[in-house]
């Protein structure tokens, strides 16, 4: 007797269900995709208990005839394809014909459908793979499918389901992707009687995103349009200052189909590479329109993964669209005030009310206190603290005199005095003076602020405290001689105005050489704009430069700005069609394994485009030329990084070299930039400011930190009550 069995149709349907329908969200996905393929403009999904006890999908699509409604629940029954040639260009979301058969095999189901041309609709009902009833019924145009008690006959699968809340959340997340992939369709999602979201169906993607993800997310998006080589990219990306700690909000669609793709993820993050901090990820809702013959969606049962015939073309199209949008659309961050300063704004408004004759709460409080004191029958007696203070001071003075007498007695006996053991107590100093500051336009309001000034002590410059006692005449002569030689202005005459002098040039600052006679950093791939008139107001903390330009104030991080300028100059050389190669006087030898040597031979062309000239033997690589703007050590590391990444990922260097390349340039750009906390001459600062205003790409440093913050004059006027 043979051991190979032909499975019953019900068993075969359960196997198909295992591939397609593992959770309620899978069933909802298949039913909604069928509704979209049917031309629906409105889709309503309702679930209870996460879809396990009840789920309903209702659409206004083309509907089905009675005959087609019965045939649709059979395995491999579909209207999407007819023969094998149709698989090469699939334009619909569904095509296998397994969804309805898999869903009806694990649930109690009812299908109500009607075409617009028919007078009445059709009802098909059954349970767990068996059809119980087929009859005519009255129903609206379109199709409504109800499934109840999912997986009731398959307890092994039922026990692997999560809680009702988790299953309901999975259904919601799946519907969110479908809703933003089809903004022309009005979606409604109801869970346990509560409306979770509803889209308008007006074919405006931004409105669909707003309805699904909320205003906070939608307000931080930047529109993207672009592409190349017949591939069109449209949608939205998040601004660099609105990032996440994971990739959960990266939504990719290929021809309006939600997919997962390493190529698309790598392209997006490569475009954002020098705009984000490490371990941060951008968000996006991007639809890539690609010819159907260049993409294969028939490689995963759930159709979540796709395969491209030309990964590099897709990578380049997405990269160029996103990168171009970032360069042209990203603006400098605006300096925002916290809630604390907002409360301060309210106090300023109260100050403005004084000018109009209104009494503040403080005035009212004092008035009420005065009136209460006048009405009091037994006013509190006034206490004179001056007598108490004088008594305490007299007691302390007597104690000091007694101690002084004891010290004199001990000195006569040869006992060391207390002044020789520790510093003598400091004498009483005069209380700090109060300086009055007048508020603008308010001559009657003054604020007393204590002003504490410390007398200059030239001893501190030489490591000596204020209590230093130099008794030796020669030592005192040498000390004051050095002071007169080193700091004559401090001893002979005081400067009229205190001015900050540049720090002495260090070795690191000496390496920073700026172009002479020109303020242009020469970034070939960026369009240079005319430099607007601006004024350098000053610099705070030797790190942040304040400039006034037009009607704005810019607060610039000089190190971050210079780092970005250097990075763009280095990257311009790296991404050129003809790379700049610097030849070595003597070849640099790198030891490699046999597998690494094979990678070098296989991808020789791509490595040469990077800027390397080399020869490969069995166990070593000899470098004759390296990319310009790189030291020999940096070039060795870059070469091995490119080879290792290609060997581990299996992707061509040309596909991932941008990201690898740019990360290799970060350190070079950082080392050659000016340093925060050090004072540089005006030429350095002005050169940085010129190029920051000349090139739009100077907005974030390569590590993702903002280069500058903007604060408008209008905002300042509002904060100071001048509006």
pLDDT for the residue 354:
44
Q: What is the mean pLDDT of residues 456-469?
A: 41
The predicted model gives 528-551 an average pLDDT of 91
Cα separation, 553 vs 310, in Å, equals 48
- DSSP states of 627-688 as a string? ETT--HHHHHHHHHHHHHHHHHH---HHHHHHHHHHHHHHHHHHHTS--TTS---HHHHHHH
Domain regions of the chain by residue span: 9-198, 220-329, 434-465+473-490, 522-723
3-state secondary structure 555-611: EEEHHHHHHHHHHHHHHHHHCCCCCCEEEEEEEEEEECCHHHHHHHHHCHHHHHHHC
Q: What is the pLDDT of residue 592?
A: 87
Q: What is the mean pLDDT of the chain?
A: 75
Residues in Cβ contact with 365 at an 8 Å cutoff, skipping those fewer than 6 apart: none
Taking the C-alpha atoms of residue 405 and residue 400, their distance in angstroms, rounded to an integer, is 9
pLDDT at position 468: 42
- Residue 398 is predicted with a pLDDT of 64
Q: Kindly report the number of other CB atoms within 10 A of residue 240's CB atom.
A: 23
Query: Are 486 and 658 contacting, i.e. CB atoms less than 8 angstroms apart?
Result: no
Give the integer Cα–Cα distance in Å for 247 and 254: 18
Region 431-441: what's the mean pLDDT?
40
Which range among 29-33, 71-75, 151-155, 404-408 shows the weakest confidence by mean pLDDT? 404-408
pLDDT digits (tens, 9 = 90+) for 587-632: 999 988 888 888 888 888 878 877 889 999 888 999 999 987 678 8
pLDDT for 310 equals 87
- Which distant-in-sequence residues (6+ apart) come within 8 Å of 686 by Cβ? 519, 536
Total residues found in the chain within this entry: 723
- Confidence bin at 342 (pLDDT 50/70/90): very low
- What is the reported pLDDT for 83? 58
User: What is the C-alpha to C-alpha distance for residues 18 and 154, in angstroms, rounded to an integer?
Assistant: 11
Lowest mean pLDDT among 174-188, 321-335, 442-456: 442-456
pLDDT at 462 over 50: no
335: enclosing H helix or E strand: none
Q: For 263-267, 455-459, 666-670, 691-695, which range has the lowest pLDDT when averaged over its residues? A: 455-459
CA 376 distance to own-chain centroid? 63
The maximal CA–CA distance of the chain, rounded, in angstroms, is 128
In the prediction, which pLDDT does 114 show?
94
pLDDT tier at 579, thresholds 50, 70, 90: confident
Upper half-sphere CA count for residue 271 (Cβ side, 13 Å): 26
Q: Give the DSSP letter of residue 334.
A: B
Question: Can you tell me the distance from the alpha carbon of 203 to that of 181, in angstroms, rounded to the nearest whole number?
Answer: 10
- Asked whether residue 663 carries a pLDDT value surpassing 70, the answer given is no
pLDDT confidence tier of residue 206, bands split at 50, 70 and 90: very high
CATH fold of 522-723: formyl-coa transferase, domain 3 (3.30.1540)
Average pLDDT of span 459-481: 44
Is 287 strand, coil or helix? strand
Predicted model pTM:
0.59
- pLDDT of 396 over the 80 cut: no
Give strand pairing partners of 133: 125
Class of 220-329 in CATH: alpha beta
State the CATH architecture for 9-198: 2-Layer Sandwich (3.30)
Choose among 146, 205, 206, 199: nearest CA to 181. 205
Span 121-144, pLDDT tens digits: 999 999 998 889 999 999 999 999
Distance CA 189, CA 43 (A): 9
Confidence of residue 79 (pLDDT cuts 50, 70, 90): low
pLDDT at 662: 64
The fraction of the chain above a pLDDT of 90, given in percent, is: 28
- Angle (CA) 133 135 139, round 5°: 120
Q: Report which listed range, 34-38, 232-236, 639-643, is most confident.
A: 232-236
Could you tell me the pLDDT band of residue 243, with boundaries at 50, 70 and 90? confident
pLDDT of residue 402: 64
Backbone angles phi, psi at 367, to 5 degrees: -65, -45
């Amino acid at each position: 007797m043979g051991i190979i069995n032909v499975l019953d149709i019900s068993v075969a349907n359960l196997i198909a269900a295992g591939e397609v329908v593992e959770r309620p969200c899978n069933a909802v996905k298949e039913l909604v995709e069928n509704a979209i393929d049917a031309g629906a403009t409105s889709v309503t999904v309702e679930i209870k208990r996460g879809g396990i006890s009840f789920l309903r999908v209702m659409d206004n699509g083309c509907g089905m005839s009675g005959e087609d409604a019965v045939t649709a629940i059979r395995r491999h029954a579909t209207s999407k394809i007819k023969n094998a040639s149709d698989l090469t260009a699939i334009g619909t979301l569904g095509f296998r014909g397994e969804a309805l058969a898999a869903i009806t095999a694990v649930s109690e189901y009812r299908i109500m459908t009607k075409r617009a041309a028919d007078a009445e609709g059709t009802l098909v009902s059954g349970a767990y793979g068996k059809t119980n009833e087929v009859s005519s019924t009255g129903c609206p145009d379109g199709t409504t499918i109800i499934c109840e008690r999912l997986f009731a006959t398959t307890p092994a699968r039922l026990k692997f389901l999560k809680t009702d809340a988790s299953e309901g959340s999975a259904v919601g997340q799946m519907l969110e992707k479908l809703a933003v992939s089809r903004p022309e369709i009005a979606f409604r999602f109801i869970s346990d009687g509560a409306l979770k979201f509803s889209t308008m169906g007006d074919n405006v993607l931004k409105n669909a995103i707003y309805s699904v993800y909320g205003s906070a997310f939608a307000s931080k998006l930047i529109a993207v349009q672009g592409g190349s080589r017949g591939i069109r990219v449209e949608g939205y990306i998040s601004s660099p200052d609105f990032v996440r700690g994971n990739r959960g909000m990266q939504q990719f669609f290929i021809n309006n189909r939600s997919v997962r793709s390493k190529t698309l993820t790598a392209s997006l993050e490569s475009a954002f590479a020098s705009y984000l901090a490490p371990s941060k990820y951008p968000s996006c809702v991007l639809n890539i329109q690609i010819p159907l013959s260049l993409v294969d969606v028939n490689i995963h049962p759930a159709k979540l993964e796709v395969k491209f015939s030309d990964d590099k073309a897709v990578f380049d199209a997405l990269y160029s669209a996103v990168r171009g949008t970032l360069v042209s659309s990203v603006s400098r961050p605006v300096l925002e005030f916290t809630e604390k300063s907002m409360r301060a704004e309210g106090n300023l408004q109260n100050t403005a009310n004084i000018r109009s004759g209104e009494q503040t709460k403080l005035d009212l409080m004092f008035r009420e206190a005065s009136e209460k004191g006048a009405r009091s029958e037994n006013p509190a007696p006034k206490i004179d603290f001056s007598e108490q203070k004088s008594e305490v001071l007299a007691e302390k003075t007597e104690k000091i005199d007694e101690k002084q007498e004891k010290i004199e007695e001990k000195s006569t006996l040869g006992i060391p005095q207390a002044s020789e053991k520790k510093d003598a107590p400091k004498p009483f100093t005069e209380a700090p003076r109060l300086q009055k500051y007048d508020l603008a336009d308010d001559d009657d309001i003054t604020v007393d602020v204590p002003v504490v000034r410390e007398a200059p002590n030239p001893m501190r410059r030489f490591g000596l405290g204020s209590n230093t006692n130099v008794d030796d005449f020669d030592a005192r002569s040498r000390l004051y001689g050095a002071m007169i030689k080193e700091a004559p202005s401090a001893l002979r005459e005081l400067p009229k105005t205190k001015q900050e002098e540049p720090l002495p040039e260090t070795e690191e600052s000496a390496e920073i050489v700026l172009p002479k006679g020109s303020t242009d950093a020469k970034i070939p791939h960026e369009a240079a704009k005319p430099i607007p008139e601006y004024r350098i107001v000053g610099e705070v903390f030797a790190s942040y430069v304040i400039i006034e330009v037009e009607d704005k104030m810019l607060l610039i991080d000089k190190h971050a700005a210079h780092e970005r300028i250097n990075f763009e100059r280095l990257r311009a050389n790296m991404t050129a069609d003809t790379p700049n190669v610097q030849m070595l006087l003597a070849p640099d030898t790198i030891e490699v394994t046999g597998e690494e040597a094979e990678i070098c031979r296989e991808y020789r062309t791509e490595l040469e485009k990077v800027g390397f000239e080399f020869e490969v033997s069995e166990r070593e690589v000899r470098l004759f030329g390296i990319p310009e703007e790189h030291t020999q050590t940096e070039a060795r590391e870059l070469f091995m990084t490119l080879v290792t990444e290609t060997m581990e990922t299996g992707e061509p260097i040309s596909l991932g070299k941008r990201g690898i390349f740019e990360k290799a340039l970060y350190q070079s750009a950082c080392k050659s930039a000016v340093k925060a906390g050090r004072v540089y001459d005006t030429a350095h600062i002005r050169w940085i400011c010129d190029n920051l205003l000349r090139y739009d790409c100077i907005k974030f440093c390569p590590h993702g930190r903002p280069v500058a913050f903007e604060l408008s004059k209008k905002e300042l006027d509002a904060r100071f009550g001048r509006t």
